[in-house]
Structure 1
Amino acid sequence: MTQNAPDLASHYVARGMRNPQLIEAALAINEDRLPDAEPILRAHLHKDPFDVAAIRLMAQLAARLGRFKDSEALLRRAIELAPDFTAARSNLAGILYRQNRFEEAVELLDTVLQVDADDASGQSLMAAALGRIGEYDEALALYGALTQRFPQHAKLWMSYGHVLKTVGQQDEGIAAYRRALAVEPTLGEVWWSLANLKTVRFDDADIAAMEAALEAPSLSDDDRLHLHFALGKAFDDRREAETSFGHYERANAIRHSQLDYDPDVVTQHVDKIIATFTPEFVAARAGQGDPTPDPVFILGMPRAGSTLLEQILASHSQIEGTMELPDLPAIALREGKATPSGWVDAVRDMPAERLTELGAEFLQRTAVQRKTDKPFYIDKLPNNWVYTGLLNLILPNAKIIDARRHPLDCCFSNFRQHFAKGQAFSYSLSDMGRYYADYVRLMAHFDRVLPGRVHRVIHEQVIEQPEAQVRAMLDYLDVPFEEACLNFHQNKRAVRTASSEQVRRPINRDGVEQWKPYEQWLDPLKAALGTLWQTYPEVAGAGK
């Protein structure tokens, strides 16, 4: 090689633009013909392993296949060979973002934008990453500038609306969503974003526009399912249950067909946890892990009232609210990769020092989300219920609150909700009932194995007896009662979840017994739940 490193990227990019094989590989990736691209790139890199443009293409291919670690390694190799390869740095930031490594993505994007401050795609990714680490003011400033530069970019307006909603600027968020629809009326995610505020009532013109969008030629499945979810909400507000359920049913059927979800996998996983985390197993590891008491985990089913509990607790002077943090599942999944059956086997023989290291890692990974000096902070990722045993081992002094809601209200609320990602169980009534039953079964097991370790909060009791339930939670957390916790709706903190607007209102009964108008269609859910919907909130005998 005769080129200096700073010139290497431009040399190979220019050469690649004249190479018919690399042009064909790039076209194949762009057209989603991934099996066609891989052999071309492998053959080329075998002949010229220093071609950083081809390495970048291979990284893009790996990313399209979901092989993010491979993509990251390839991009780092390209940057090592050509440190000024800005496009590779930008791609790497995107890969880090997709791995929930938002702080690293921000640091890398800083270097990208120093080279080209007007890089719109870099600014957009930076705004998204800043939002994920709670730097909302900077994210809003970037989105505001981008929408001024690109007023006809519907998805920019949508992203801007998301952040405005998160920080409580609802009117401005609605206006941003409406601007997106003025540009692209068939963009289903925007219609769903309006519906997902829970406070917007669609008028006749809105419904007509959504129904017209469903007739648009070449409408994508994602746009279609979002439109059906939004129309489900529109007709629910009008108390037209049959029409509403029909839209929800069609939306869920589309999403269910896109996913590869097997409820038996969850049931078997819960069986394994119960078999492993015996009283003897837990007692033998008492006192291990990182002793830091700072985290408060609020877990359970989605749509069970966890955002309300977070808002209540985050109104306390000693407790900071963050968001649904991806770090505990990421740690568990990584540790489990070395064993055929996942993290449960990985922790079975894990030495005490490793448990302590994992607890410390969680604290380090989540430190970026802490914006105050309050002693405690909340992780409210609902699905952490499956990791209750693990978090008890690695963070023995962390607090755990189980947010529970009536199974029919909770599960039907999930059925009416489209999640940005995850929650694959929620797009089938029977799958959802089984998931709820497995959750209850595992938490009942830990009630027996770790009595008093988990504090359960029944959503309906919070509605009926708010002060008593708040006092009980604060007693469990060993912090004094503060009146601000009862006035949680006055808290101006950012809220990222679907309940963001609901928790900015005083406690009400709006979400109670919402399933009843739809009962005639809920037999698959009832069958999967067994007697849980009749015996709730009692959980005696829920263990297997």
Structure 2
Amino acid sequence: MAQAVAPPRRTTPTHPGSIPRTGTAPGARQHADGYTAPATARLVPSPVFVLSSVRSGSTLLRVLLNSHSRIRAPHEMHLRTLHVHLSREFTADAMRELELDKEELEHLLWDRVLHKELDRSGKDVIVDKTPPNTLIWPRLERCWPEARYILLLRHPGAVITSLTKRRADPDPEEIRAEVLEYSEKLEEARGALDCHVITYEQLTAEPEETTRGICDYLDIPWEQGMLDYGTRDHGSFRPQLGDWSDTIKSGRIQTARPADPGTGLPPRLQEIAAAWGYPTT
């Protein structure tokens, strides 16, 4: 069983409140007019994001966490697809007078969505497990400098196998490119963020130990009920909101399926898999 490989710890300190760190983060925004709005206070200053590839067990992790009395882990929220449209030529100027720009307006919207869901749940920790968040992790860090991150890894070969079986007319090259894109961003985040790293293989083989480690990271007590996710209401399981397979609907934690022995990994994916502690032969 693969053991999660801990990333090097980030040494750049976080500032109090919700003001982002100084310096240029990866993917930092650049405005043609030279204006960047300052960050404003967040209603949810320290949300939790699960960063993972698609087909890596993030829905299982979601329902386990959502079974905790203090954690709200809703379906995939796709915050990155929520945009603000400044519809008139003078709108940007009006917002600038309020020390806002398009990106910060979107951050306020994202933060409000999280706050609404957290308030509705009556819980105090919110987790967003949308896999494409992995592709924009630098922006999440800009929006929430105090956010916490759980990196959920899975053997890239197993991800390729799962995607190939899931799609009606799979394109092998397209799938490998997609898995590589996610894997590169995960490896980038692993080295840059102060995060908690687990593997899907660990989660399914040792669910109690793995979820205890997550609770320690989140500084909340572990609860036995987390392992009985099938007895809780987690909303509907359907496409675009997470996994909807019979496996997740069974209500039971099932052993992670390995990669197809015939799945060949390109050199860069082999490098990343080895860095994560997975065998590559």
TM-score, normalised to structure 2's length?
0.68
Amino acid at match of 1:318: R
Q: Mapping of 1:205-216 within 5 angstroms?
A: none
Distance 1:305 1:290, change over 3 A: farther
Residue 233 of structure 2 aligns to a residue whose secondary structure is: coil
Give the secondary-structure state (helix, strand or coil) at the position aligned to 2:166.
coil
Q: Which residue of 2 aligns with 1:507?
A: 253
The structure whose RCO (Cα within 8 Å, separation 6+) is larger is: 2
Q: Is the 8 A contact 1:434 1:529 kept in 2?
A: no
CA contact (8 A) 2:57 2:200 kept: yes
Task: Say if 1:408 and 1:533, in contact at 8 Å, map to a contact too.
Answer: no
Quick check: 1:329–1:387 contact (8 Å CA) kept in 2?
no
| 1:397 pairs with one of 124, 131, 146 | 146
Match of 1:460 in 2: 201
Q: Which has the larger radius of gyration?
A: 1
Contact 2:48–2:127 (Cα < 8 Å) also in 1:
yes
Shift of 1:294: 5.6
8 A contact 2:51–2:134 mirrored in 1: yes
Q: C-alpha separation between the residues in 1 aligned to 2:77 and 2:273?
A: 33
TM superposition shift of 1:359:
2.7
**Residue 296 of structure 1: aligned partner:** 48
- Report what 1:312 is aligned to: 64
Residues 160-179 of structure 1 mapped to structure 2, 5 A cutoff: none
Letter in 2 for 1:394: C
More helix by share: 1
The letter of the residue matching 1:397 is: E
* Partner Cα separation in structure 2 for residue 409 and residue 506 of structure 1: 20
The answer to whether the Cα contact below 8 Å between 2:50 and 2:152 also exists between their aligned partners in 1 is yes
- Partner SS, residue 277 of structure 2: coil
Segments of 5+ residues of structure 1 without an aligned counterpart are: 1-278, 339-350, 420-425, 540-544
Does the CA-based 8 Å contact 1:406-1:533 persist in structure 2? no
| Cα contact 2:46–2:144 (8 A) shared by 1 | no
Does 1:358 pair with 2:106?
yes
TM superposition shift of 1:388: 0.3
- Report the more deviating stretch, 408-417 or 383-392: 408-417
Assess, with a 3 A threshold, how the Cα gap between structure 1 residues 499 and 404 changes in structure 2: closer, same or farther: farther
Which whole-Å deviations, capped at 9, do the CAs of 1:371-415 have from their partners, x for residues lacking one?
421122232211111110001101222332222211111111112
In structure 2, C-alpha distance between the alignment counterparts of 1:500 and 1:478, rounded to whole Å:
32
Structure 2 residue 221 is matched with structure 1 residue 472: no
Out of 304, 322, 331, the residue aligned to residue 74 of structure 2 is 322
Matched position secondary structure for 2:25: helix
1:254-293 paired onto structure 2 within 5 Å: 280-282=23-25, 288=39, 290-291=41-42, 292-293=44-45
Q: Does the aligned pair in 2 maintain the 1:403–1:457 contact within 8 Å?
A: yes
| Contact 2:56–2:153 (8 Å) recurs in 1 | yes
Q: State the distance in 2 between where 1:295 and 1:533 align.
A: 27
Determine which of 136, 144, 161 is the counterpart of 1:412: 161
Superposed CA RMSD in Å reads 3.5
SS of the residue corresponding to residue 282 of structure 1 reads coil
Cα pair distance change 1:289/1:417, threshold 3 Å: farther
2:187 paired residue number:
444
Distance, in Å, in 2 between the alignment partners of 1:488 and 1:438 is 31
Question: Match of 1:538?
Answer: 277
C-alpha distance in 1, partners of 2:224/2:141? 30
**Residue number among 365, 373, 395 corresponding to 2:122 in the alignment:** 373
Q: Aligned residues: percent identity?
A: 21
Give the AA of the match of 1:362. Answer: W
CA apart distance, 1:499 = 4.0
> Are the structure 2 counterparts of residues 293 and 477 from structure 1 closer, same or farther at C-alpha, using a change threshold of 3 Å?
farther
Q: Work out the CA distance in 2 between the residues paired with 1:495 and 1:299.
A: 22
Distance in structure 2 (CA, Å) of the matches to 1:475 and 1:356 = 32
Alpha carbons of structure 1 residues 494 and 294: separation in structure 2 relative to 1, 3 Å: farther
- For 1:534 and 1:297, how far apart are their aligned partners in 2? 22
Return closer, same or farther for 1:532/1:384 CA change in 2, 3 Å cut-off: same
1:387 aligns with 2:136: yes
Query: How much has 1:442 moved relative to structure 2?
Result: 2.4
Deviations 1:186-240 (A, max 9, x none): xxxxxxxxxxxxxxxxxxxxxxxxxxxxxxxxxxxxxxxxxxxxxxxxxxxxxxx
Match of 1:433 among 170, 176, 179: 176
2:25 corresponds to which letter in structure 1?
V
* Cα displacement (A) at 1:317: 0.6
| Contact 2:77 2:128 (8 Å CA) reproduced | yes
Q: 1:480 to 1:530 in 2, by over 3 A?
A: closer
Taking the aligned partners of 1:441 and 1:514, their CA distance within structure 2 comes to 19
Count of residues in Structure 1 that have an aligned counterpart in Structure 2:
231
**Cα distance, 1:446–1:326 mapped onto 2, change above 3 Å:** closer
Partner amino acid, structure 2, of 1:382: P
